[in-house]
Amino acid sequence: MQEIKPIIRQAEALIPTPWGNYNLLAYASHPDEWMPHLALVHENIDFNQPVLIRIHSECITGDLFSSKRCDCGEQLLSAMDKISDEHGILVYLRQEGRGIGIINKLKAYQLQDLGLDTVEANLHLGLSIDARDFTIALSLLNDIGVKKVRLLTNNPDKIEIFNESAIELVERVPLVIVPQEENRDYLMVKKERMGHILKF
C-alpha cells in the first residue's frame, strides 16, 4: 500500500463560485502554514459513484494571469467546467513551476527565451525536470472519503499514484486543450519528453 503523506485538514468553508457552491478545504502539516494544499469539493458530490477529480498544481502565471506560455490556466478552467457538471473535486497542490517555485520558474523562462526547452532550462539551473509529489493528493482524497475516481488528466505520473493506493482509479478522462502559437512548443515537450498523453 502506498504511503500517504501526513497532512491534516486545518480549515474549511463554503465558497460560492461561478461553477456552483463548493466546500474549500485547506490541508497542511501545521495550522499556521500560509500556503496549504486545497480541495474544492462540490456541495452535491455523490460518494457512491466514482468521483471526477482534477489534480492541479499551482501555476500563478497561467492560473491567475492567464499566461499563454503554458496551458495551465486553460486546463484549470476546463476542469472546473467539467467538475461543475459532474459534481466532482479539484485538488489544488501548491507546487508552483513543477515544484521549483516561481523565482526559479521565471529564471527558466528566461533560458527558454534563449532557445532552451522547459526540460533543458530546468537542468541548466541544476533543478529537477519535475519535482512535484502527486501522492499528496491521496492524503486529501482519503480524508474527504473518496473511494473511486475518474481522473481528469493527461499526465501518466498522476495516473501512477493510484496503482498501489486504496483509492480505485476507474477511468482516465482526457483534458483536451487546443495548442496556441505561444505554447505549442511547450506542449510538444510535455508530449515527447515527459510522456503526456496528448493528441495534436
Residues 6+ apart with CB under 8 A from 96: 57, 58, 59, 60, 102, 105
CA angle, 54 then 3 then 147, to 5°: 45
Q: Has 130 been annotated as catalytic?
A: yes
Q: Which of 130, 143, 150, 184 is catalytic?
A: 130
Q: Which of 132, 143, 150, 185 is catalytic?
A: 132
Under 8 Å between Cβ of 128 and 159? no
Q: How far apart are CA 183 and CA 14, in angstroms?
A: 35
Per 3-state DSSP, what percentage of the chain is helix, strand, and coil (rounded to 5)?
A: 35, 25, 45
Helices (H), ranges, the chain: 72-86, 96-99, 102-113, 118-124, 136-144, 156-160, 184-192
Q: Has 117 been annotated as catalytic?
A: no
* Residues with active-site annotation: 130, 132
